[in-house]
Amino acid sequence: MYNFDKQQPLLEFLRQELNIPTESIELAQRHPDLPYSSLPMLLWGYGLISLSQLERIFDWLDHGWVNSVKTME
């Protein structure tokens, strides 16, 4: 099942840093059995983000999410 709490930092990054519309994110989240790591690929697969945005997301997942989680605690 999809854990929205776990990926709140990712959702905030998508909305605030990449200006991805909430509607686009919600469309990808409707995918059944969506694993946490698949959201960026689904957004790209649906044509909702560009390849450069996908690369930024992967960079953020590799490096930036740790800082986001720490600031939420």
Asked if residue 3 belongs to a domain, the reply is no
pTM assigned to the model: 0.72
The whole domain housing 68 covers: 8-72
Q: Is residue 2 part of a domain?
A: no
Report the domain count for the chain. Answer: 1
Q: Is residue 1 part of a domain?
A: no
Q: Contact 49/21 with Cβ under 8 angstroms?
A: no
The number of beta carbons lying within 10 Å of the beta carbon of residue 69 is: 12
- How would you classify residue 64: left for phi > 0, otherwise alpha for psi between -120 and 50, otherwise beta? alpha
* Cβ 26 vs Cβ 15: under 8 Å: no
Digit-by-digit pLDDT tens for the chain (73 residues) are: 445 566 789 899 999 999 999 999 998 888 776 665 688 998 998 899 999 999 999 999 888 765 555 554 4
Range list of H helices, the chain? 8-16, 22-29, 39-45, 51-59, 65-72
